[in-house]
Amino acid sequence: MRYRPVQEKRVWLHRRGHSEGWREAPDAEFAGTMPDQPAVISTSEQGGQDELEMLRRIGRQWASSSIVRRQRDRKLPVDLALGVFRPPTPSRFGRFAPVQFFRAEAPDELVATTPASLPETRLGRGIVRIKRVVLGPPLPTSAVSQERMGTVVALAVLGSDLLSSVAYGPEAMIAVLVLGGSAALGLSLPIAAALVALMITLGVSYRQTIRAYPNGAGSYVVASDNLGRRAGLVAAAGLLSDYVLTVAVSVASGVDALTSAAPRLAPHGTAIGLAVILALLGGNLRGVRQAGAIFAAPTYAFLVATVALIVVGLAQAGRRDFQPMAPPPVHATEAVTLFLVLRAFSSGATSMTGLEAVSNALPAFRPVEWRNGQATLTWMVSIMVAMFGGLVTLIHLDGIVPMAGETVLSQLGHAVFGGGLLYAYLQGATLLILMLAANTAYNDFPRLLSFMARDDFAPRLFLRVGDRLALTNGMVVLSTVASLLVITFRGRTESLIPLYAVGVFLAFTLSQTGMVMHWWRNRSAHWRKNIIVNGAGAALTAAVTVTVAVTKFTGGAWVTLLAIPLLVGLFVRIHSHYHFVDTTLSLRDTPSNRSVAHVPADDEVQKVGDGEATPQQMRHLIVVPVSRLHLASLRALAYAASFATPAFAVHIAPSEEDAEKFRERWAAWGNHIRLETIVSPYRAIVPPLTHYLEALHNQRPDLTITVVLYELVPARRWEQLLHSRVAVRLRRALRPLPDLVITSVPFHLYRSTPARDGNMTMGSGGRSRPDRVAEGT
Amino acid sequence: MRYRPVQEKRVWLHRRGHSEGWREAPDAEFAGTMPDQPAVISTSEQGGQDELEMLRRIGRQWASSSIVRRQRDRKLPVDLALGVFRPPTPSRFGRFAPVQFFRAEAPDELVATTPASLPETRLGRGIVRIKRVVLGPPLPTSAVSQERMGTVVALAVLGSDLLSSVAYGPEAMIAVLVLGGSAALGLSLPIAAALVALMITLGVSYRQTIRAYPNGAGSYVVASDNLGRRAGLVAAAGLLSDYVLTVAVSVASGVDALTSAAPRLAPHGTAIGLAVILALLGGNLRGVRQAGAIFAAPTYAFLVATVALIVVGLAQAGRRDFQPMAPPPVHATEAVTLFLVLRAFSSGATSMTGLEAVSNALPAFRPVEWRNGQATLTWMVSIMVAMFGGLVTLIHLDGIVPMAGETVLSQLGHAVFGGGLLYAYLQGATLLILMLAANTAYNDFPRLLSFMARDDFAPRLFLRVGDRLALTNGMVVLSTVASLLVITFRGRTESLIPLYAVGVFLAFTLSQTGMVMHWWRNRSAHWRKNIIVNGAGAALTAAVTVTVAVTKFTGGAWVTLLAIPLLVGLFVRIHSHYHFVDTTLSLRDTPSNRSVAHVPADDEVQKVGDGEATPQQMRHLIVVPVSRLHLASLRALAYAASFATPAFAVHIAPSEEDAEKFRERWAAWGNHIRLETIVSPYRAIVPPLTHYLEALHNQRPDLTITVVLYELVPARRWEQLLHSRVAVRLRRALRPLPDLVITSVPFHLYRSTPARDGNMTMGSGGRSRPDRVAEGT
């Protein structure tokens, strides 16, 4: 069989009929859209009626030109649909060219299939293959489906962050009190009571927010909406730092739970933490969805474990008539001051992180979303209050104080359950819920960044959806920053906690203040009552924010307090850049006064930047830098000369003699193209050429100068080292020059092309070809 | 005054009349030639009569085309000579465009002045400015002048490497003997006698080599010439490793001399060593010449110090009737075997490194070169024999054994001079001559590499001459490798020495063997005597090579023995690559059977690679990938449409809806260019486009496809992160495809261009402009 029939070939791109659908194109360059985001909001109003009108006007400008009309009439020398099947001619070297992997159904549209999405190079395909083994096959954009959650699942999924906080919150609080000595330990109960009151207030306050923003009541949205962009950005910066710290603290706490049970692993704490972050990243890049029964398990397991711990513990305490056991004598290192109490309160307040989860995730609830959300929030806060209160009481009753190497929860477990299976279950459940809590940040962080990118406040690369429909870039950034934190603080939970609470409570405050503004502006039913509830929330959280910022300032809160304004500044700069770009790129009429083709007189020299927008306005000049006359440079010269536009060549010589020598060779060739030589006595090549081209540009700013560079492309990467990088350096140096187009004419140095002298072979330039044929067929 | 007159402007490029001279163009791409190297020897026979004939034939092919004739008749829209002075119009923003920094004198040639050799960007100019402060202003190619040396200077400059070896050679020898205990120390005198005999033989042998190769008798040349390329490469590899080790060992020894005198500095040995290498690199990059009286000073100072040491020492010993003092009792750790003796001999043989310096540097001698060279060599070897013999005798008489922290020479100095000024002078002179010895490697290593690059055995970048006419790249490589050695071995001379001798003696052996072959082939006068002399040298050095390789194998010689064949293999691969490139690029007739402009029938599909060499053979197709319709993409479309060639646009959409949406916008614009949309359900962009273009290429392999990419160029580097890198990735992916030309149409996002709407301003795209104007005027 000489030709392989088309049916046997794998279809790489196939045609599809047009659909009726209409959707906004993504705003980011070539970027895929987030499946669950609304139509693109952009300052350039892509797709708006104004823009269509402008397109039509520009189109009319084009249509007036005979160049364009001739271009339209020109027949293309290829079949764009790739529909004409022509089997490859087997060469005498027995290779087949991998053409025609396509099928046509409707005009002007092709559909790329999976193999067409693979890179061309062997290395690239190898990387993709490894990625697919780890992360699974790519999912088409149409595979998006969002599972909706009921209360039971939502409580587990969204509650994990909040509920897992009891693994470190009470401990952080008591760890501060201990500094005041045994006497101060008694203050844990009143402080815990204050925290419980705060929790309940916040819970009630957020219930109202959920009712008012049933489509998603994240702090960024609520604050932006009611207090202005700047406040929204501050809230966003607070939340972003919160999410990063959620990962770092949860992972560090999880590792603590593990090393409390298995002290042998303690020296490898940081490494285990990093491995956990990597695993979380991998799982989330695969596109692990928020919902699902497996995700409910850890939360409920932890719930059961904690409740059992509290019940059994209280029962044991009941047998001794709730007589608190004396804690081991601790030496006071600080006086028991209000400052110490406030610090303990601030540390305990980290237990409240994750309370905002429900409000962020409202769109993921089953309808009626806000009602299910409120129910979930109520349950969540109630359970939290019970667990937090119970644990603090039990810690007090059992006289437990934080100690190095074992968490308070682990100590409680040992005290209550002994060391058996129940203890192991408690530690395992703690570890799992902490991982799950870290995992929630993998949903929230990229989503918030994508919201911000949609509003042009974050780089648009955070809009990009990966192979598995995950917001890959945000996840990678989150993992990187969290890993750095784990490494910097060597996974010590207590050093991370001071950084933690500021961001969250700042976001809480802005969100609640925003709600107050909301009610004040809208004056809907019950607005007075609502203002009081949200106002109380705002006042309390503001007080906590200030308390945390002040008491933890030297302990690490300064990092967050410094990072937030820097982040906000960055967001604003990014926004202003995108705004500038959108304005610069946006369609508008171009000056038509430049279509006169004459050398402008002295006082007429004009500069219009990169403004030529119609073919008839283009005045071409082609420049070919030539170092030697060989096949590659001759090919570049032939390319330049083959257009009906003025062209000339430049040669840079290190000395006059060299220049003269080159001119003689040029003359021998026939002087087909005008040659200009530049002697560069200091042997520089790129700068003189750049200056020369700039001078030409300044002579005739209306010209579009095309620099045609030939580039040798060796077959192997290391061979690149054997050739000068002049073309690359030149391209970089020429990039900033206006109205300068750079064309590179590659010349392939591939050994698999033995037939340069006219033999008929297929697959020239095809080092990458044989292996792909082997794979693609 | 509105215009600044031309006289006030600094001339950046100026015209110069043609000179009579004729010189070979450098073979490397755009590279400056080494001043002292002969005309380029290249496999491609650049500039040969054959090639000129071929150029004429290709030229006639071109001339047959009407496209080329029309191209020749076309008037260029600019004055290439930049001679027409047009003063810049000051814009309303008060900026001047930096045009017309040029002066014209003769047609078709400009000369770049220093400012024109400066980069355009502020960062680039900053780097250049720092470089110039450190290394001095650039030197024009015409500034080359080689100072010729007489015997007195040559002895100092070329002898430093050999003579400085007495600072570590005797110590290395005795350090081995000490392992055999006090008894073995007595063997130092007979071993030294054997080494002296070897030195004299080698000296006589090299005198003959110098006579036979009066233009330079380096081992690479002699071995290549007489024993074939492979032997030459082995010698070269040996010498390269020798030069690197010369730097490492000399610097380490110099640091030892310093820390012997000032033990406080001992912990910083490695850092001092690296600083010395950096200083040597800096000095040599400045272009410190070999010759000169300052360079003679250290050698003669060291000579005086050593002679004084020996004379005073012997006088003191004479007072006790040359009775050797008992060395401190040393514990034997090894038996005194032949192996130990041979190891001691091998270590002592490192004293002979540098003996080849004269033969390498013959062209730098005053005429008659060979006679001056022979005289220098005789003096050098005589002094060496006296110093080596005297020092070993003195060490024996004073009963000195190597100890940690102080060199043997320093101990001798203490023993003979006490601790005063004379001792300090001895140590200072030792330090200086060792630096000078290291410095000789900075001349030899880059020169050898440039010879090899000229023969295509080393990357051509080693031919490149820097701003200061130094062979910059070779020096940087030498410094890097030597620094790595100093770091790896923590500057311990004794660990570096086993690596040292193999390379040198291998090169000696090959050179001497080559001479034997030379005499045998030529049978000139006295050939029998000459063969005996060189044969004795060859036999002895071969014996030493084997001894060193065997006895030092586990001590480190294996590194050199492994490196040499690897290096030779690399040289051969490099040669074969360049040969392939030269053959591929070399001029030849191109097939003319491709000028038929029709779509080839099925069995006629042909692939001719990157072979189009004449404009009439070019069949164009322009493809414009478009993601959105904005000014940048419209500019790329206008660019593509402005040529009289077929063009079409491709759009990649993540879904059918997006594709449909884009087509509607395209239609609103007017469908001026044919649009093909590709739906990529997996959101990949680069691979589907690459596959599509490849399929088009396979449909019509005779077409040259030009891909026109628009690229957004932001003003600041960090802003690049805010934009997709699709254009860059696409360019990389498309590079390997045959017959595919990539054109990038930049669109500048510069805030300094407020006048996109038609206002007349100068210096658009000119963030780099204002500062340069300020500087250039």
CB-CB under 8 Å, A615 with B642? yes
Tell me how far the alpha carbon of residue B83 is from its chain's centroid. 38
Residue A257 pLDDT level (bands cut at 50, 70, 90)? confident
**Which positions 423-442 of A are in contact with B (Cβ < 8 Å)?**
none
- The helix or strand, by DSSP H or E, that contains position A649, with its residue range, turns out to be strand A647-653
- Class of residue B601 by CB neighbours under 10 A (exposed 0-12, middle 13-18, buried 19+): exposed
Task: At A86, give phi and psi (nearest 5°).
Answer: -130, 115
Say what the alpha-carbon torsion angle B517, B518, B524, B530 is, to the nearest 10 degrees. -70
Structure-model confidence comparison of residues B83 and A669, the more confident one: A669
* ipTM (interface predicted TM): 0.79
Does residue B777 carry a pLDDT above 50?
no
CB-CB under 8 Å, B22 with A661? yes
Nearest-angstrom CA–CA distance, A733 and A741: 12
Q: Residue A550 in contact with residue A339, Cβ under 8 Å?
A: no
Q: Which among A610, A612, A749 is the top mutation candidate for probing chain B, defined by the most B β-carbons within 10 Å of its own β-carbon? A: A610
Q: Taking residues A649-654, what's their average pLDDT?
A: 89
Lowest model confidence (mean pLDDT) among A492-501, B72-81, B676-685, B757-766? B757-766
Residue with tokens 């918030």: A448
Q: Residue B44 in contact with residue A723, Cβ under 8 Å?
A: no
Task: At B747, give phi and psi (nearest 5°).
Answer: -125, 120
* Residue from the list B68, B609, B627 with its beta carbon closest to the beta carbon of A765: B609
Q: Residue B128 in contact with residue B119, Cβ under 8 Å?
A: yes
DSSP B739: T
Task: At A621, give phi and psi (nearest 5°).
Answer: -145, 125
Structure-model confidence comparison of residues B681 and B208, the more confident one: B208
pLDDT tens for residues A93-133? 333 333 333 443 456 677 777 677 777 777 888 888 888 88
Q: Which among A10, A585, A590, A674 is the top mutation candidate for probing chain B, defined by the most B β-carbons within 10 Å of its own β-carbon? A: A585
Closest-CA residue in chain B for A16? Answer: B656
Closest-CA residue in chain A for B741? Answer: A745
Distance from CA of A361 to the nearest CA of B (A): 26
CB-CB under 8 Å, A88 with B609? no
Say what the alpha-carbon torsion angle A111, A116, A117, A122 is, to the nearest 10 degrees. -170
Distance from CA of A276 to the nearest CA of B (A): 29
pLDDT for residue A137:
78
CA distances from B618 to B257, B586, B611 (A): 69, 20, 10
pLDDT for residue A289:
57
Lowest model confidence (mean pLDDT) among A274-278, B10-14, B327-331? B10-14
β-pair partners for B677: A109, B651
A 10 A CB-CB count for B761 gives 21
Task: Establish how many alpha carbons lie within 13 A of residue A218's alpha carbon, considering only the half-sphere containing its beta carbon.
Answer: 23
Q: What share of chain B is helix, strand, coil (3-state, %, to 5)?
A: 60, 5, 35
Lowest model confidence (mean pLDDT) among A175-184, A558-567, B63-72, B289-298? B289-298
pLDDT for residue A764:
35
Q: Which among B70, B631, B710, B739 is the top mutation candidate for probing chain A, defined by the most A β-carbons within 10 Å of its own β-carbon? A: B631
Does residue A375 carry a pLDDT above 90?
yes
pLDDT for residue A614:
78
The SS3 call for residue B756 is: coil
Q: Taking residues A598-627, what's their average pLDDT?
A: 63
Does residue B678 carry a pLDDT above 60?
yes
Angle at which helices B151-164 and B369-398 cross, to 10°: 40
Closest-CA residue in chain A for B619? Answer: A642
Q: Which among A583, A656, A717 is the top mutation candidate for probing chain B, defined by the most B β-carbons within 10 Å of its own β-carbon? A: A656
pLDDT tens for residues B448-467? 898 899 889 999 889 888 77
Distance from CA of A448 to the nearest CA of B (A): 17
Residue with tokens 């400052």: A339
Return the percentage of chain A with pLDDT > 70, whole number: 81
The SS3 call for residue A605 is: coil
Structure-model confidence comparison of residues A652 and B15, the more confident one: A652
- The helix or strand, by DSSP H or E, that contains position A416, with its residue range, turns out to be helix A408-417
Contacts of B55 in chain A (CB under 8 A): 629, 665, 668-669
pLDDT for residue A99:
32
Q: Taking residues B713-733, what's their average pLDDT?
A: 85
The SS3 call for residue A774 is: helix
CB-CB under 8 Å, B593 with A76? no
CA distances from B297 to B154, B159, B284, B292 (A): 12, 12, 18, 9
CB-CB under 8 Å, B62 with A654? no
Nearest-angstrom CA–CA distance, A217 and A514: 11
Task: Establish how many alpha carbons lie within 13 A of residue B455's alpha carbon, considering only the half-sphere containing its beta carbon.
Answer: 17
The winner for highest mean pLDDT among A136-145, B107-116, B660-669 is B660-669
CB-CB under 8 Å, A67 with B628? no
CB-CB under 8 Å, A642 with B618? yes
Q: How many residues does chain B have?
A: 777
Lowest model confidence (mean pLDDT) among A307-316, A596-605, B42-51? A596-605
Nearest-angstrom CA–CA distance, B427 and B411: 11
pLDDT tens for residues B547-605? 888 888 888 888 888 999 999 999 999 999 999 888 888 876 554 433 333 333 333 33
Angle at which helices A169-177 and A369-398 cross, to 10°: 40
Instruction: Give residue B629's identity as a one-letter amino acid code.
Output: L
pLDDT for residue B107:
60
Structure-model confidence comparison of residues B511 and B762, the more confident one: B511
β-pair partners for A102: A13
Nearest-angstrom CA–CA distance, B429 and B296: 12
Q: Which among A669, A704, A713 is the top mutation candidate for probing chain B, defined by the most B β-carbons within 10 Å of its own β-carbon? A: A669
pLDDT for residue B312:
92
Lowest model confidence (mean pLDDT) among A390-404, A489-503, B421-435? A489-503
Dig out the tokens for A253 from the structure.
């706490």
Q: Is A37 on the interface with B (CB under 8 A)?
A: no
pLDDT tens for residues A621-650? 999 999 988 888 988 999 998 888 889 999
- Class of residue A337 by CB neighbours under 10 A (exposed 0-12, middle 13-18, buried 19+): exposed
A 10 A CB-CB count for A679 gives 26
A 10 A CB-CB count for B114 gives 15
CB-CB under 8 Å, A760 with B668? no
CA distances from A418 to A255, A412, A709 (A): 21, 9, 78
Please, what is the average pLDDT of chain B? Answer: 78
Does residue B288 carry a pLDDT above 60?
no
pLDDT for residue B775:
31
Distance from CA of A695 to the nearest CA of B (A): 5
**Which positions 671-690 of A are in contact with B (Cβ < 8 Å)?**
671-688, 690
Contacts of A775 in chain B (CB under 8 A): none
Q: Taking residues B479-493, what's their average pLDDT?
A: 88
What is the DSSP pairing of strand B13-14 with strand B109-112?
Answer: antiparallel
Nearest-angstrom CA–CA distance, A247 and A276: 10
The predicted model scores a pTM of 0.77
pLDDT tens for residues A40-53? 323 344 457 777 88
Alpha-helical runs (H) found in A468-526: 472-488, 493-522
Return the percentage of chain B with pLDDT > 70, whole number: 81
Q: Taking residues A612-622, what's their average pLDDT?
A: 80
Lowest model confidence (mean pLDDT) among A175-184, A515-524, A601-610? A601-610
Nearest-angstrom CA–CA distance, A673 and A647: 7
Closest-CA residue in chain B for A695? Answer: B99
pLDDT for residue B196:
93
Q: Residue B336 in contact with residue B181, Cβ under 8 Å?
A: yes
CB-CB under 8 Å, B56 with A668? yes
Please, what is the average pLDDT of chain A? Answer: 78
Distance from CA of A728 to the nearest CA of B (A): 12
Distance from CA of B12 to the nearest CA of A (A): 9
CA distances from B165 to B261, B384, B537, B665 (A): 19, 9, 20, 80
pLDDT for residue B214:
83
Q: Is B61 on the interface with A (CB under 8 A)?
A: no
Q: Residue A208 in contact with residue A547, Cβ under 8 Å?
A: no
CB-CB under 8 Å, A52 with B724? no
**Which positions 261-300 of B are in contact with A (Cβ < 8 Å)?**
none
Distance from CA of B447 to the nearest CA of A (A): 18
* Residue from the list A82, A119, A765 with its beta carbon closest to the beta carbon of B738: A765
b/e for B234-248, b at 16 or more Cβ within 10 A?
bbbbbbbbbbbbbbb
Across the A:B interface, residue pairs with CB atoms under 8 Å apart total 661
β-pair partners for B337: none
Nearest-angstrom CA–CA distance, B44 and B27: 9
DSSP A101: -
Closest-CA residue in chain A for B753? Answer: A609
CB-CB under 8 Å, B760 with A606? yes
Contacts of A78 in chain B (CB under 8 A): 621, 696, 699-700, 703
CA distances from B353 to B59, B106, B149, B384 (A): 55, 54, 21, 11
CB-CB under 8 Å, B665 with A47? yes
Lowest model confidence (mean pLDDT) among A490-494, A728-732, B269-273? A490-494
Does residue A379 carry a pLDDT above 90?
yes
**Which positions 615-674 of A are in contact with B (Cβ < 8 Å)?**
615-621, 627-632, 634-635, 638-639, 641-648, 652-663, 665, 668-674
Say what the alpha-carbon torsion angle A753, A756, A758, A761 is, to the nearest 10 degrees. 10
**Which positions 392-411 of B are in contact with A (Cβ < 8 Å)?**
none
Is the bond preceding B368 in cis, omega lying within 30 degrees of 0? yes
Q: Give the per-residue SS3 of B3-62.
A: CCCHHHCCCCEECCCCCCCCCCCCCCCCCCCCCCCCCCCCCCCCCCHHHHHHHHHHHHHH
Please, which residues have CB within 8 angstroms of residue B1's CB and are 6 or more apart in sequence?
none
Instruction: Give residue A211's identity as a one-letter amino acid code.
Output: R
Distance from CA of A704 to the nearest CA of B (A): 9
pLDDT for residue A16:
39
Residue B76 pLDDT level (bands cut at 50, 70, 90)? confident
- Within chain A, how many helices (H) and strands (E) appear? 25, 8
Distance from CA of A163 to the nearest CA of B (A): 37
Contacts of B97 in chain A (CB under 8 A): 607, 698
Nearest-angstrom CA–CA distance, A559 and A569: 16
Task: At A4, give phi and psi (nearest 5°).
Answer: -90, 130
Contacts of B746 in chain A (CB under 8 A): 610, 735, 740-742
- The helix or strand, by DSSP H or E, that contains position B679, with its residue range, turns out to be strand B674-679
* Residue from the list A101, A632, A741 with its beta carbon closest to the beta carbon of B585: A632
Distance from CA of B369 to the nearest CA of A (A): 29
CB-CB under 8 Å, B724 with A700? no
Does residue B511 carry a pLDDT above 50?
yes
**Which positions 748-767 of B are in contact with A (Cβ < 8 Å)?**
748-749, 751, 753, 755-758, 760-767
Does residue A761 carry a pLDDT above 50?
no
Q: Taking residues A156-171, what's their average pLDDT?
A: 88
Q: Residue A126 in contact with residue A141, Cβ under 8 Å?
A: no
Lowest model confidence (mean pLDDT) among A12-16, A437-441, B253-257? A12-16
Task: At A39, give phi and psi (nearest 5°).
Answer: -55, 150
